[in-house]
Chains A and B, each alone.
Chain A
């Protein structure tokens, strides 16, 4: 039971912060299928920085976590500029832009990883080893039955994510930036008429999604996979999109969806292990989040409402 909660949370929270990035982008009116690419590229930049700095300074790679996190956010944000430019300035189709960015991210990071490994370390490797970030347990609270698991073996990034998520919620729903951002996704003309630049709002929204995705990608790399490789493109970005659609483009329900995915995943693994089934059965349990998404969408898609102007190219000059 405890492992379900511990593993579920450590998976759900990075997913959640990436989904919040998606919410920002989509609430501003930009369809964002590129989360997958953002998180991968962000993780790549983070991992690369960690490995290079550790190599130069002689520090242990596990201790480079915060450095990596910082660079991953910058990397994810930097890469997201492509999506912003393509879909806002170049008026490209946003779905196509997203797909292309995902392909490009995979290609670029794979190429650069092998290239850097060969150049710097003289090794023909297609991954950066990172190890697993340290965990901590809050002694008193951890002893509470059931809920105690929430405070056991916590990754530091989980705390960071919760703080950022609260801040993101506050910005989106309470500040003027949030008010304008949400209006851009509903009726960009109204924002424009109010003398606010729709393009700037959308640009920043996409960059925020890149930043948060980069953060998420780094968390995955430092926990589940313990390395950076092309295996980071496991489809978590798409799962985050499913979560936000499912959460009706609102932050709190999206958290629910992410937790559901997280526990479905860890629960499935746990059942497969505890029933001592052959390892191939884990594959069968892996489909749980996806099946759950599909089924729930069948029931809830009627009441779901995407931002009205989502995916539409906003042309200011339109008369």
Chain B
């Protein structure tokens, strides 16, 4: 009997050391529908789809494609079954052109003098140009990836899958780094793909997207399938409840801001990158005590460089930075920390932590050189341990072996907690948070937002850099929208709508 499902996954179980990522999950997807997979980080959505793409093999369970039982052993095999995945983290070679990236692995071969095979780039260029026009994804195939914007890079990822003639397309959190306008465009493309007969699986934790485009939606929680819903007849609230397992408020509760004296003043700041290109141009703003100033913008528009320049990680090539009225433009990183800057960096594993050191050492890593952690250059290990245990309790940092746990073995959420704990304990008048909730689950996000607001209420000045517009709209008192290294708009958060911010983010609108 032919089933009416194009993809069926039955009783899938997948275990990783320590966790069960998928626990007896069964779903069926119809041809030509948009099927959403909803769940928090760590709910098992990505694992389930990685199994479908042949990146993992399930420990138990069966997969049927077009009614036939299959064992998908590799991404190649998945591609042969016309399954393709648009990855959340783009898998692109920056130095290669769009064409080279798309054909990698399925290179068309021409022959020179009928003897020497070579990669037929020119034909591929033509084919890709055609393909991109057909689906409304226009690109110039000869451009290098390094020169493309984030949303253009995503187009390349989509084209990669289409080039391999995929019929079943999996989108993994495709909107995470896009502006509202780009999101609308993308959702339009996805609908267009469905209308041309493709089957779409959309992994996301954003309810409004599901509401907008999806036909049906499966909710996962902690590896288990909770329910499969018809999107048209289900309320967003119910979906949210099922996803999290309890009711949550997305709006952070926040007392009205009370701004006091000016803490940070940035004047005509200019920052150049390694190639001497100005990534921050002539930027000026101030942050007062009790204020959360958020920088909104699409990735790579200079926002991280502003944070780095204030903290001293990159040099300002022009302009001045004042902290509490003191010019710190040329101070060392350590001096800035001493004069009162805490910094939660974007990349916690590359910058925030020493993964091979234990928790206690990491928690003290900004104070080790001072009393009581050391005296005349000799370390006092007891002090490290005591301080560590204290913070682990206070901030509820979960670690397997207490203060001696190697940070590498901790979960992302707990690593982030450790960094935030360390930075709050510095008691700095200025706190910088760059993408503080990236890759942590919803419960932890709530918690982190609460902590940021708490710090504000204690009179700290806070600089928040985030790519998540929701986060900015929820938490910020003042929003600065950056595009191409320049502020397009600085205004109080009440006076701006999400859509307006989105337009400024794309540079479509400016003062």
Partners in one complex: yes
| Segment at the interface with B among A186-194, A203-211, A218-226, A237-245 | A186-194
A196 within 8 A of B: yes
Nearest 6 A-B pairs (CB), nearest first? A194-B105, A195-B76, A176-B107, A190-B91, A193-B91, A174-B118
Most buried by A among B75, B89, B105, B107: B105
Please name 17 pairs of A and B residues whose Cβ atoms are closer than 8 Å in the assembled complex, sorted by A.
A170-B116, A175-B118, A176-B107, A180-B104, A187-B91, A187-B94, A189-B89, A190-B91, A190-B101, A193-B75, A194-B91, A194-B105, A195-B74, A195-B75, A195-B76, A195-B79, A196-B104
Task: Compute how far the CA of A186 lies from the CA of B92 in the bound complex, rounded to whole angstroms.
Answer: 9
Q: Is the interface of B mostly helix, strand, loop or mixed?
A: loop
A183 within 8 A of B: yes
Considering the complex, give the chain B residue whose CB is closest to the CB of A178.
B119
B104/A183 in contact, CB under 8 A: yes
B93/A176 in contact, CB under 8 A: no
A191/B117 in contact, CB under 8 A: no
Considering the complex, give the chain A residue whose CB is closest to the CB of B77.
A195
Task: Compute how far the CA of A85 lies from the CA of B424 in the bound complex, rounded to whole angstroms.
Answer: 46
B95 within 8 A of A: yes
- A170-B116, A174-B118 known; A179 vs B91 contact (CB < 8 Å): no
B87/A194 in contact, CB under 8 A: no
Interface residues of A in 197-235 (CB under 8 A from B): none
Task: Compute how far the CA of A117 lies from the CA of B480 in the bound complex, rounded to whole angstroms.
Answer: 79
Task: Compute how far the CA of A180 lies from the CA of B118 in the bound complex, rounded to whole angstroms.
Answer: 13
**Extra inter-chain contacts (18) besides given A190-B93, A190-B104, A194-B75, CB under 8 Å:** A170-B118, A174-B116, A176-B109, A179-B104, A180-B104, A180-B105, A182-B93, A186-B94, A186-B95, A187-B93, A189-B89, A190-B92, A192-B91, A193-B87, A193-B91, A195-B74, A195-B76, A196-B104
B346 within 8 A of A: no
Q: Which residues of A contact B95 (CB under 8 A)?
A: 186
B96 within 8 A of A: yes
B100 within 8 A of A: yes
- A170-B116, A175-B119 known; A195 vs B93 contact (CB < 8 Å): no
- A179-B100, A179-B119 known; A196 vs B105 contact (CB < 8 Å): yes
Q: Which residues of A contact B118 (CB under 8 A)?
A: 170, 174-175
Q: Which residues of B contact A196 (CB under 8 A)?
A: 104-105
Partner of B119 from the list A174, A189, A308 (CB cut-off 8 Å) is: A174
Interface residues of A in 266-319 (CB under 8 A from B): 308
Q: Shortest Cβ distance from B279 into chain A, in angstroms?
A: 19
Task: Compute how far the CA of A175 lies from the CA of B112 in the bound complex, rounded to whole angstroms.
Answer: 11
Considering the complex, give the chain B residue whose CB is closest to the CB of A180.
B104
Q: Which residues of A contact B109 (CB under 8 A)?
A: 176
Task: Compute how far the CA of A176 lies from the CA of B119 in the bound complex, rounded to whole angstroms.
Answer: 6
Task: Compute how far the CA of A174 lies from the CA of B122 in the bound complex, rounded to whole angstroms.
Answer: 12
A residues with CB within 8 A of B: 170, 174-176, 179-180, 182-183, 186-187, 189-196, 308
B106 within 8 A of A: yes
Q: Shortest Cβ distance from B505 into chain A, in angstroms?
A: 27
Interface residues of B in 456-506 (CB under 8 A from A): none
Q: Shortest Cβ distance from B187 into chain A, in angstroms?
A: 24
A183/B79 in contact, CB under 8 A: no
Q: Which residues of B contact A174 (CB under 8 A)?
A: 116, 118-119
B residues with CB within 8 A of A: 74-76, 79, 87, 89, 91-96, 100-101, 103-107, 109, 116-119
Task: Compute how far the CA of A301 lies from the CA of B87 in the bound complex, rounded to whole angstroms.
Answer: 35
- A176-B107, A195-B75 known; A189 vs B91 contact (CB < 8 Å): yes
Q: Which residues of B contact A183 (CB under 8 A)?
A: 93, 96, 104
Q: Which residues of A contact B116 (CB under 8 A)?
A: 170, 174
Partner of B107 from the list A179, A189, A190, A191 (CB cut-off 8 Å) is: A179
Q: Shortest Cβ distance from B41 into chain A, in angstroms?
A: 12
Most buried by B among A180, A182, A187, A196: A187
Q: Shortest Cβ distance from A97 into chain B, in angstroms?
A: 20
Q: Shortest Cβ distance from A132 into chain B, in angstroms?
A: 35
Q: Which residues of B contact A193 (CB under 8 A)?
A: 75, 87, 91
Q: Shortest Cβ distance from B415 into chain A, in angstroms?
A: 15
Considering the complex, give the chain A residue whose CB is closest to the CB of B116.
A170
Q: Shortest Cβ distance from A319 into chain B, in angstroms?
A: 8
B92/A191 in contact, CB under 8 A: no
Task: Compute how far the CA of A186 lies from the CA of B106 in the bound complex, rounded to whole angstroms.
Answer: 18
A187/B106 in contact, CB under 8 A: no
Q: Which residues of A contact B93 (CB under 8 A)?
A: 182-183, 186-187, 190
Task: Compute how far the CA of A182 lies from the CA of B95 in the bound complex, rounded to whole angstroms.
Answer: 10
Q: Shortest Cβ distance from A37 into chain B, in angstroms?
A: 30
Task: Compute how far the CA of A148 lies from the CA of B94 in the bound complex, rounded to whole angstroms.
Answer: 44
Q: Which residues of B contact A187 (CB under 8 A)?
A: 91-94
Q: Shortest Cβ distance from B307 into chain A, in angstroms?
A: 24
Most buried by B among A191, A192, A193, A196: A193
Q: Shortest Cβ distance from B112 into chain A, in angstroms?
A: 8
Considering the complex, give the chain B residue whose CB is closest to the CB of A307.
B95
Q: Shortest Cβ distance from B387 into chain A, in angstroms?
A: 32
Task: Compute how far the CA of A196 lies from the CA of B74 in the bound complex, rounded to whole angstroms.
Answer: 10
Task: Compute how far the CA of A182 lies from the CA of B100 in the bound complex, rounded to whole angstroms.
Answer: 11
- A183-B96, A186-B94, A186-B95 known; A191 vs B105 contact (CB < 8 Å): yes
Q: Which residues of A contact B103 (CB under 8 A)?
A: 179
Task: Compute how far the CA of A194 lies from the CA of B76 in the bound complex, rounded to whole angstroms.
Answer: 7
Q: Shortest Cβ distance from B62 into chain A, in angstroms?
A: 23
- A186-B94, A189-B91 known; A175 vs B117 contact (CB < 8 Å): yes
Q: Shortest Cβ distance from A259 into chain B, in angstroms?
A: 27
Q: Shortest Cβ distance from B85 into chain A, in angstroms?
A: 8
Considering the complex, give the chain B residue whose CB is closest to the CB of A189.
B91
Most buried by A among B104, B116, B118: B104
Q: Shortest Cβ distance from A221 into chain B, in angstroms?
A: 32
Most buried by B among A186, A195, A196: A195
Q: Which residues of A contact B79 (CB under 8 A)?
A: 195
Q: Shortest Cβ distance from A270 into chain B, in angstroms?
A: 41
B94/A194 in contact, CB under 8 A: no
A191/B94 in contact, CB under 8 A: no
Q: Which residues of B contact A179 (CB under 8 A)?
A: 100, 103-104, 107, 119
Task: Compute how far the CA of A170 lies from the CA of B116 in the bound complex, rounded to whole angstroms.
Answer: 9
Task: Compute how far the CA of A193 lies from the CA of B53 in the bound complex, rounded to whole angstroms.
Answer: 10
Q: Shortest Cβ distance from A302 into chain B, in angstroms?
A: 9
Task: Compute how far the CA of A160 lies from the CA of B267 in the bound complex, rounded to whole angstroms.
Answer: 64
Q: Shortest Cβ distance from A241 into chain B, in angstroms?
A: 22
